[in-house]
Amino acid sequence: MDIQKELTTGKGYSVFPIENIDIFKKLRTSFIEKINITNKLGDNIGQIRKKMAKMSKAEINKIMVNLLSFNDLSEMIINSCPTLIKSLCGDELFIQRRAHTIINVPGDGQSKQWTHYELMSGISPFSYVIWAPLHDLEDQGGVYYIDQKKSSEIMKKEEEEGLVNGPTVLNLITEQKPTLMKFGEAIIFNPFVLHGNVTFKSEFARIACNVRFQSYNKPLLQKNTDYLKYYKLV
């Protein structure tokens, strides 16, 4: 099944190889430069992840502040996957003004992202999300995805009960296995696919980035200039 069909009538998500891996490697290099902790570590992502795994929440927050200067992250992710994005949305886009980098530290009491739909933030139902790790994902530090058939059934059942992201959704977190991926792979999913991540045990932190985008010709929902900007693929 091709990716477009997978996103609309299939599982609602798909793992794919990043087309312009050179741009994505530059993205990772920019990330390493901007976090500014690597004097003795060089650009070895494994060593950086190992150091991050032992950092306090305050130290991680300091890194996140440093990453506020990563102004071209959205464009770098988009330009890493131009053919796929163009096939889904055309070349005129609304893209996230500031894409996210996410650092997940292993261990109990550390970050977990409970099960949720991207739509909950008010992005358009016509949006897509690309999520990519900056390294191989060989442990349980990745993200789990629940196929859109089940996701939409839960959504409709909750809606009948007057709920959104209620206990049925939140409790899904307990039974999930994150998707394993290689560096150079990304996952694309639609905003109705439930997903999240679990706490995990590892020597390494997990580092990933993601961006939301949609066709300029599709309607917006609640997100506007506060979150999106116009972008034309070249």
Partner 1 sequence: MSIATATTDINIGPYKIPSNGQNMIMNNYAQRNNLTIELVIPEPMMSNELATIQWLQKDYKISKLILCSIYQLPFKQERIDELLNNMKDIEFHFALEGISGKGIDFLLSCIKEVRMFKNARIINSKNTSWSKLYEMTRGQG
| List of residues contacting partner 1 (CB under 8 A) | 4-5, 7-9, 94, 97-98, 119, 122, 124-126, 152, 155-156, 159, 164, 190, 192, 216, 218-222, 224-226, 228-230
For the bound state, the minimum distance from the C-beta of residue 94 to partner 1, rounded and expressed in Å, comes to: 7
For the bound state, the minimum distance from the C-beta of residue 4 to partner 1, rounded and expressed in Å, comes to: 5
Burial (Cβ within 10 Å: 0-12, 13-18, ≥19) of residue 39: exposed
For the bound state, the minimum distance from the C-beta of residue 203 to partner 1, rounded and expressed in Å, comes to: 35
> Judged by CB, which is closer to partner 1: 74, or 140?
74
For the bound state, the minimum distance from the C-beta of residue 156 to partner 1, rounded and expressed in Å, comes to: 5
Give the span between the Cα atoms of 54 and 230, in whole angstroms. 39
Half-sphere exposure of 18 (CA within 13 A, CB side): 26
Dihedral (C-alpha) 199, 124, 229, 182: value to the nearest 10 degrees? Answer: 40
For the bound state, the minimum distance from the C-beta of residue 180 to partner 1, rounded and expressed in Å, comes to: 27
Hey, what are 145's tokens?
């995805």
Half-sphere exposure of 19 (CA within 13 A, CB side): 12
Q: For strands 128-133 and 13-17, give the pairing.
A: unpaired
Q: Give how far Cα 63 sits from Cα of 44, 50, 83, 113, 172, Å.
A: 17, 15, 32, 19, 31
